[in-house]
Amino acid sequence: MARVLILGGYGNFGKRIAENLGRAHPGLELVIAGRSLQRAKKLCTELAEHGAPGTRFEAARLDIDSPAFPAELAALAPTIVIHTSGPFQGQDYRVPRACIQAGAHCIDLADGRRYVCDIRGLDAQARAQGVLVVSGASSVPGLSSTVIDHFRNEFSALETIDFAIAPGNKAEVGEATLKGILSYTGHPFPVLEEGRWRDRRGWMDARRVDFGGPVGRRWLANIDIPDLELFPERYAGVRSVRFQAGLELPVLHHCMVAMAALAKIDLVADWSPWAAAMLKARQPLMAFGSDVGGMRIELSGTGPDQRPKRLVWTLYAERGIGPYIPTLSAIILAGKLLRGELAERGAVPCLGLFSLADFDAEATPFGIYHRTGS
């Protein structure tokens, strides 16, 4: 019987993955793991009410920072480990190393640039153990690369990738996610622009972009993600890659921009320790704004007819369903491994491992949809 262990299983993303896998795979053993055994047990009780026939839910206390973590993980004998315990910025590879040692596949939702891009350093170890380690199985680079792969052949030369994410103000935000974002707010990171690498700063260069449909116009600012480094490698000839995200309420968005400015002039070295306080201060404002979010990918270059070509793909999530989107890449890959449909082994960023049709099969039941225009 396959065993899937979710690290951070009762967290913002982990609980959604557990809920999905528990319903979709009869006979699965699902281990909800984290630092709080009480919270893990509580979620197991809730999931058991709606689980598929024969599905078993088990709670476990695991602390990835504990010296005993590798042995404790191995003792649980997982087939697959899904790692959702961020922030991944600055995190080492103790989790995927422990998974490799235990002979378990490892899928993570990492968005830390170095964490995802450098995962290939574990490739030889993962291949030797016959396991797959996938980093960045989330909205980026998992879904973003899948979309670009889908449309790549519509260009004879793809030159510019400009994409963004705009969540609704009422969407849940985990402390780990916010810590990761705050860690580079106001700090420089390299971005490819017109064929040259230039430094841009987190949460600066604010602009408004129209997502169309129910999302409308949203403010955006610079975000550091692995795609900024991976896409120039993956898509030969690309000269510019830009990624931004933003907050729906202008007052919150421009507060972040102001915080970035303070970090730029060294008045604040690191905003991440303020994450918990910021989430608490945000609570009264969650009554405002909407529960509608979107993702927009704009591709520009030359079409097969050698004329300039522009394509815009936009994803929409309404009724507060947006937080499911970052989980779908991991859910798809776990399902493929459980069904024996994914033969690749080694340690890789999440690039080219599933199709847009695979995504739609998981996303459509939630009411998540996308449109393509020019």
One-letter amino acid for residue 163 of the chain: F
pTM for the full model? 0.94
Whole-number pLDDT of residue 173: 81
Round the average pLDDT of the chain to a whole number and report it.
96
CATH code of domain 3-138+323-366: 3.40.50.720
What is the CATH class of 140-317? Answer: alpha beta
User: Any idea which of 295-299, 322-326, 331-335 has the lowest mean pLDDT?
Assistant: 322-326
pLDDT tens profile 83-129: 999 889 889 999 999 999 999 999 999 999 999 999 999 999 999 99
**Please, which pLDDT band fits residue 194 given cuts at 50, 70 and 90?**
very high
Nearest to residue 264, comparing CAs of 189, 319, 197? Answer: 189
Nearest to residue 101, comparing CAs of 60, 72, 141, 121? Answer: 72
Tokens of 297: 């990918």
pLDDT tens profile 234-256: 999 999 999 999 999 999 999 99
Distance CA 316, CA 213 (A): 8
**Please, which pLDDT band fits residue 172 given cuts at 50, 70 and 90?**
confident
Same fold, 3-138+323-366 and 140-317: no
Is pLDDT at 371 greater than 90 in this prediction?
yes
Per-domain boundaries in the chain: 3-138+323-366, 140-317
Distance CA 210, CA 103 (A): 46
Nearest to residue 177, comparing CAs of 318, 62, 8, 12? Answer: 12
Whole-number pLDDT of residue 51: 87
Distance CA 96, CA 106 (A): 6
Is pLDDT at 151 greater than 90 in this prediction?
yes
Read off the pLDDT of each residue in 316-320 and give the average, rounded to a whole number: 94
